[in-house]
A and B are shown apart, each in its own frame.
Chain A
Amino acid sequence: MIRHALAEGWLILRSRGLISPVLALALAIPVSLAGVTFSLRQWLGPVIVLGDRDSVVDVLLHPRLDDAQRVRFISEQARVHRDWKLAAVAPEELAERLASWFPYLEEVLQREGPEMLPHMVEITTRDPQSVLDLKDSAEVLAVGPTSSVNRVVGQVARRFGLVLLLVAGALVAGAVLLAAVWIHLELHRNAEEIAIMRLMGATEATVRGPFLVAVMVPALLAAVISVALTVVAVGWMAQIAVPLGLAAKNASLAVLASQVLGAVGLPMIAAFITLERHASSEEG
């Protein structure tokens, strides 16, 4: 049975000539583009999470405050603003941060020592604008940043991710449509032959076997092409995306496995459905 299906399927493939590789390529393109799009969506994950994170606002305290006054100030703010999380940052720690953010300051900071820097309080809050009121306080030198940039970036990334998912969905839908049209045309081309086989007493397995082989070979080819295209395209895009701060990685195994399943499964499912409908209509 399998030998018959392979031999007859090979005959169908041979009679098609270059049509099979062209079909494979046509199916591989939307499948691989869907894989690339989905990978891009995965990269946005950490950025999207920013939209849900609280903002951190730095509050520089006046140098004239002594330790007791600073503690009192922090306790008072914590009592009034129960949704804030306050953490004191000593000048030594601030000096370290400045040195890492702005390496050209390292020499000055070492020379002058951390004593030149004020004490700082880090306030973690959902509403950074609410910290702005402290600017007028006598104990405070400066407040910032109070914009919700993280949330805005996160929300934009979420919407962009949604668009990418929609694009991936449309590409998969395109692949489904292509597979359905391909199988329909294929069956149309072989309808007479299939009908004759049935009239000769061939079982459904005998009739469908060669046809499924003739569909599976280009489908497997499409799977290989789409995986290769995705790996290359995602790898190349990752090189560009990493410097932009995106968590760019190579295409995940899950994405590649889905592509193989899609490239092989969609035409096979379409073939099963079309053959079944053809058999039913013949019977009718």
Chain B
Amino acid sequence: MIRIRGVTKEYDRRQILRGIDLSVDPGEMVFLTGPSGAGKTTLLRLLYAAERPTQGEIWVAGSRVDTLARSELPHLRRKIGVIFQDFKLLRRKTVLENVTFVLRVHGIPLREAHRRAYKVLKRLGLHHRQSALPESLSGGEQQRVAIARALVYQPRLILADEPTGNLDADLASELLSLLCDINYQGATVVLATHDHALLESLPARTLVLRRGGIDYDGMWPP
């Protein structure tokens, strides 16, 4: 599902990632961890082609991402569900519209899109806030809308950047079980976190990033 070879990323001559080699098989669940500034978010951004690497090759879902033409980006991104650290909700749209929007982009008719969006929102306990605008939601609620949006079209790959950062322990655990369900159904999940409790709660392949390189790649707890 993901293949990375010799990837380096620099900002203003400062190396954020250096010579990353990585392979993630379809259906795998991978935790990405490491201290702040280790390059977790940058690595995820490279995977959904928000940025291009300074060097190296990146393959995601059969597409070579680092050389992908701009016109091909939507096709790649429709295969990926991204849960952003800063939520990235559309401010002028309600909760339901935010979730529906992604399905509309995929060409799903409005009525069907509403039905699916409502179902996911209900599962995340947000159906009663479907008409609210993002600014009226708490941080945790906004986080859940972002999660609902990423999961609603059942993508083959889910990239989650600190998805539990604004959730309490119960909701974090509920989210993890949701991602596990999706993973059991065949989706690949890459979850970036520095929440040790989350890492301890589920034995899974874990990549530890440190100073831009992969310091550890194996099951966690070791």
In angstroms, Cα B50 to Cα A12, docked, is 25
Q: Which of B71, B75, B82, B102 contacts A204 (CB 8 A)?
A: B71
Q: Which of A11, A279, A283 contacts B92 (CB 8 A)?
A: A11
Contact between B77 and A201 (Cβ–Cβ < 8 Å)? yes
CB nearest to B97 among chain A residues: A11
Q: Give, as a whole number of angstroms, the nearest-CB distance from B10 to chain A.
A: 14
In the complex, whether A162 has a CB less than 8 A from a CB of chain B is: no
In the complex, whether B70 has a CB less than 8 A from a CB of chain A is: yes
In angstroms, Cα B74 to Cα A200, docked, is 8
Contact between B91 and A206 (Cβ–Cβ < 8 Å)? no
Chain A interface category by residue count = 20 to 34
Q: Which of B74, B76, B82, B91 contacts A193 (CB 8 A)?
A: B91
Contact between B105 and A202 (Cβ–Cβ < 8 Å)? yes
Contact between A202 and B74 (Cβ–Cβ < 8 Å)? yes
In angstroms, Cα B75 to Cα A206, docked, is 13
| A197 neighbours in B (Cβ, 8 Å) | 90, 101, 105
Number of A-B contacts (CB under 8 A): 53
Contact between A193 and B90 (Cβ–Cβ < 8 Å)? yes
In the complex, whether B132 has a CB less than 8 A from a CB of chain A is: no
Chain B interface category by residue count = 20 to 34
In angstroms, Cα B77 to Cα A197, docked, is 11
Instruction: Given the known inter-chain contacts A196-B90, A283-B70, please indicate yes or no for A201 contacting B78, CB distance below 8 A.
Output: yes
Contact between B92 and A15 (Cβ–Cβ < 8 Å)? yes
Contact between B88 and A196 (Cβ–Cβ < 8 Å)? yes
Contact between A199 and B92 (Cβ–Cβ < 8 Å)? no
In the complex, whether B104 has a CB less than 8 A from a CB of chain A is: yes
12 A-B pairs besides A15-B92, A283-B73 with CB distance below 8 A are A4-B104, A11-B92, A193-B91, A196-B88, A196-B89, A198-B74, A200-B101, A200-B102, A200-B149, A201-B80, A202-B105, A204-B70
5 A-B contacts (beta carbon < 8 Å): A192-B88, A195-B88, A201-B74, A201-B106, A203-B74
Report the 10 A-B pairs with minimum CB-CB distance, sorted nearest first.
A201-B77, A201-B78, A201-B74, A202-B105, A203-B74, A196-B88, A200-B102, A201-B105, A283-B70, A200-B105
- The chain B residues found within 8 Å of chain A, CB to CB, are 48, 50, 52, 70-71, 73-78, 80, 82, 84, 88-92, 101-102, 104-106, 149
